[in-house]
């Protein structure tokens, strides 16, 4: 307990799935967390649960990560409410299955707006706040799709690939500027979340597929445990890294 005591974190897409698990783990380990999402009811319900367990530990803000002004408002309120910002988890995402030939320009732009431009805006506006707070950690949620060929998740893979490169550039920039800010990307394999369940439904993939073949289906807490580690000072020497959480899927 207390591995991130005294730290303040923003988690985008925090109302469900991986984001929810991240928020729960961070609060459990002592952080103050701002949960942001477009899902208002789910976000408010989660914050109520978190504050019931740890009073004053969480705040919800409706947040479309494509909106630059809203990013500025979220960060400003975070600092005003909790006195600073130390951790940003760029988690918000979506997936609409489509191949390179089937994918529409609208679908491609949507994926990149949410999962490429969203993290860019978050990093751009969070860096000054984290630096002013004494430094910290940016954690960008990517995917094993950046390492494997998944034609049916074409736009998703493209957006996450951009995050992979962006992460390294931000890590070096912050190091050059002596900001004391680390930036790393996480690359989970298939994880038991509502987003994956919906994608499997659209593709007709049965639940037993993951138990009968391959590395199996991960759990949200498998990712959340690594988020806590990267948010903590325990990972002070890990910077610009891409961490695979895939039970050896990529090397099979």
Distance of CA 201 to CAs 8, 171, 231, Å?
Answer: 36, 37, 33
Q: Give the strand order in the sheet containing 87-90.
A: 58-62, 32-37, 8-12, 87-90, 136-141, 181-188, 242-245
- The per-residue DSSP string of 80-118 comes to HHHS---EEEE-------B-TTT--HHHHHHHHIIIIIH
The answer to whether residue 156 is catalytic is: yes
Burial class of 233 by CB neighbour count within 10 A (0 to 12, 13 to 18, 19+): exposed
CA distance 194 to 17: 6
Q: Please identify which of the residues 150, 156, 210, 237 carries the catalytic annotation.
A: 156
Label the pairing between strands 87-90 and 242-245: unpaired
Closest CA to 87 of 43, 23, 155, 147: 23
Query: Which residues carry out catalysis?
Result: 156
């Amino acid at each position: 307990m207390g591995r991130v005591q005294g730290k303040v974190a923003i988690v985008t897409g925090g109302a469900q799935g991986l984001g929810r698990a991240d928020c729960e783990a961070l609060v459990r380990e002592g952080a103050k967390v701002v949960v942001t999402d477009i899902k208002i009811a789910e976000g408010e319900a989660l914050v109520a649960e978190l504050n019931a367990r740890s009073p004053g530990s969480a705040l919800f803000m409706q947040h479309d990560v494509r909106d630059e002004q809203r990013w500025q408002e979220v960060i400003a309120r975070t600092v005003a409410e909790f006195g600073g910002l130390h951790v940003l988890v760029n988690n918000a995402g979506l997936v609409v299955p489509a191949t390179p030939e089937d994918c529409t320009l609208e679908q491609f732009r949507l994926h990149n707006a949410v999962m490429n431009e969203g993290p860019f805006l978050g990093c751009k506006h969070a860096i000054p706040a984290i630096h002013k707070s004494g430094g910290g950690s940016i954690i960008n949620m990517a995917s094993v799709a950046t390492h494997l060929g998944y034609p049916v998740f074409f736009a998703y893979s493209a957006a996450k690939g951009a995050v992979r490169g962006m992460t390294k550039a931000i890590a070096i920039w912050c190091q050059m500027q002596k900001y004391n800010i680390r930036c790393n990307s996480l690359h989970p394999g298939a994880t038991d979340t509502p987003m994956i369940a919906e994608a499997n439904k659209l593709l007709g993939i049965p639940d037993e597929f993951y138990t009968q073949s391959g590395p199996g289906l991960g759990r949200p807490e498998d990712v959340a445990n690594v988020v806590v580690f990267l948010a903590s000072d325990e990972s002070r020497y890990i910077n610009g890294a891409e961490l695979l959480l895939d039970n050896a899927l990529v090397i099979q």
